Structure 1
């Protein structure tokens, strides 16, 4: 009996010791931070991991457990929000002031904010002055293309959707099917989401004669006006202008295919250019604004913050989490982050070189529009936007059914 009581006492002592250490700390005083990012490209994840490792080397008492759920990020974030258990550091991916606002710590008193780009400041700061996240970089999204392929087949970067369709058909014909005109890594449904989200802007917003922004915001939008996009995607698939494995292809395949000159256009962005050129220095990857759809419109970039990091309001280690943000806000680290992701930095005291700098210069003055879903749709629409693309290309949905599904999801989520 005495032996049993001793064992129980030891067990209770051990349990108490573990509890005293906290959920995110080890017994030797090391603090464990969790970090969750939306980075999907291998090169983007690589630069994250390098910077995390550099920080840990300088701060041996802090260990960062970084994760990249890719296509599962939003679902995982919803589960964590419901449990009120967000990671210590997490990406707000365009929803800092809305979806994640109640879960973020205010960062407005940090030193780096004095150098925050005004465009980014307005996107991340609410009316009360609360700054919800640190922007690692800025996005200028459009179409990414293999310049070698376009040059070989005499194709100019298209300025309209009609020109885009013609370019795809020309590449298929002239390459005798050896080059995939438009490649999508659709096992990650966000690839279809990118197609719909980016082209929805010229279809429904920026044309003076076809602007539905107010109707989308007040709930009166007729979703049949959206059907053009699934119709065109279906047409691309039927004409074999998409890769045959568009629904199952992995985004990690893109760089190798582009490096082999087997792909013309993609929806990939960011570090894909550096990744491809590292595999084949002879290949140059270009970027261009989203083509216009209506005659009275012009091409536009789709932009905003790309990667961010917010500190969880409920983190047990806010000081250490902020220390990591202070670290990545240092000009030399911010420069490394921007160059590593091939996107413009978000701080005025950073001068980063960019893989796509020449292309951005070529389109200087082109307007920048916000992401369609962030500006005009209720939270949660990104998932059905991508999923309906998968079902359309797999043959499970018609273009009309895609629009009907989007309407249903809008009505459900806007309430």
Structure 2
């Protein structure tokens, strides 16, 4: 009986202990759930859209964001790269009033996006703005429209190995550039294409016109002189008629240039050298250079096209302005900007970085030359870039002639200005 009583008491004690433990565990679980719910409520999702088309550059952005998320685990960043559809993407978002928290102003921080971005003038990195970008992203009142990640420093990317093989010096005038192209075509028996364009990526065509519009502006001193546009179109027609461009221009993709540069089959590209790392991966030992846009009259200085390449602006109606500014400040760190410089081969828009990429010497060589803003961004209404690119392709296809191109440009500009 005594044993039975002890057993019953033991069972009762164990049940009581189990009940206490169960109550404690239940409380802990509820507390944990409340903590998770609070954390969920505190979780911030930042949306970011950038006009970055090169995969190796996108990867660096992803890496920097991952480090940011480690430092701030309550913030999740969703990066989006719409590629060459970026402007359509932003137009759609603007119409729906559903913009990303942070977005790339791609050359239009003031004119297109000026009314919908946060003033960043009080941010710690503002004093580091370079002299070459300050006026582009800041107005006379001191408002800062965007943080410049990369500055455009665009000229003609050339294949050093090809020029060396055929004994050609880097051209310093447009006439020398055409002479070099003719020599390359003749001496290589057509194996080397002097100039590469891709109609499917029509920006590569538009770039030619935008480059030399600036070169002619230096001659005329006029913002819009449509007779000069006819001259640029005639220069482009010369490349077509002399067969100094790739035969597959209407079907080629711009990404083809990676293989062609690596194989020594293309000499010049009217673009920045941001594709260089992809070429080096394809064939180690390939040598590439960057030269400024040659003047159209001997004796005039060469120049690069400058301004915004990639920026980060904050949408004024974002519910997460504080966190967006935190991400900008993180990207503004010199070590992060240097990572981007390394892959884009372009200078940062903020001082304090030490470039180490292969094109540093080329940029230093031409440091005393001019840096002119992109012509369409400065002198033409928004929307004209699309007109330039599409009609450049029309000329390639033989559907318009230079005089028609100029008329289309003038008419389109007047219509867009009226809007």
Question: TM-score scaled by structure 2?
Answer: 0.86
Matched, 1:240 2:243: yes
Residues 247, 394 of structure 1: 8 Å contact kept: yes
1:206 is aligned to 218
Q: Distance between the aligned counterparts of 1:189 and 1:304, measured in 2?
A: 21
Report matched runs for 1:176-255 at 5 Å. Answer: 176-203=189-216, 205-207=217-219, 210-213=220-223, 216=224, 221=225, 223-255=226-258
Residues 42, 252 of structure 1: 8 Å contact kept: no
Residues 157, 273 of structure 2: 8 Å contact kept: no
Count the aligned residue pairs: 380
Cα distance, 1:270 vs. partner?
A: 4.0
SS in 2 for 1:145: strand
2:110 is aligned to 97
In structure 1, stretches of 5+ residues that fail to align are 1-25
In structure 2, stretches of 5+ residues that fail to align are 1-38
1:173 is aligned to 186
Call closer, same or farther: CA 1:85–1:270 in 2, change over 3 Å. farther
Question: TM-score scaled by structure 1?
Answer: 0.87
Larger C-alpha radius of gyration, 1 or 2? 2
Deviation readout 1:43-77 (Å, 9 max, x if unpaired): 22232222223323333332322222232222222
Q: Distance between the aligned counterparts of 2:264 and 2:176, measured in 1?
A: 21
Matched, 1:365 2:368: yes
Deviation readout 1:101-125 (Å, 9 max, x if unpaired): 0111111111112322233222111
Identify the range of structure 1 (30-39 vs 161-170) with the bigger mean alpha-carbon deviation. 30-39
Report matched runs for 1:4-403 at 5 Å. Answer: 29-203=42-216, 205-207=217-219, 210-213=220-223, 216=224, 221=225, 223-295=226-298, 297-403=300-406
Q: Which runs of 4+ in 1 moved over 4 A?
A: 26-29
Q: Distance between the aligned counterparts of 2:156 and 2:231, measured in 1?
A: 19
C-alpha root-mean-square deviation of aligned residues, in Å? 1.9
Q: Distance between the aligned counterparts of 1:317 and 1:270, measured in 2?
A: 35
Q: Distance between the aligned counterparts of 1:84 and 1:105, measured in 2?
A: 15
Cα distance, 1:85 vs. partner?
A: 2.3
Identify the range of structure 1 (275-284 vs 323-332) with the bigger mean alpha-carbon deviation. 275-284
Call closer, same or farther: CA 1:306–1:183 in 2, change over 3 Å. same
Cα distance, 1:264 vs. partner?
A: 0.3
Q: Distance between the aligned counterparts of 1:117 and 1:397, measured in 2?
A: 42
Cα distance, 1:295 vs. partner?
A: 4.1
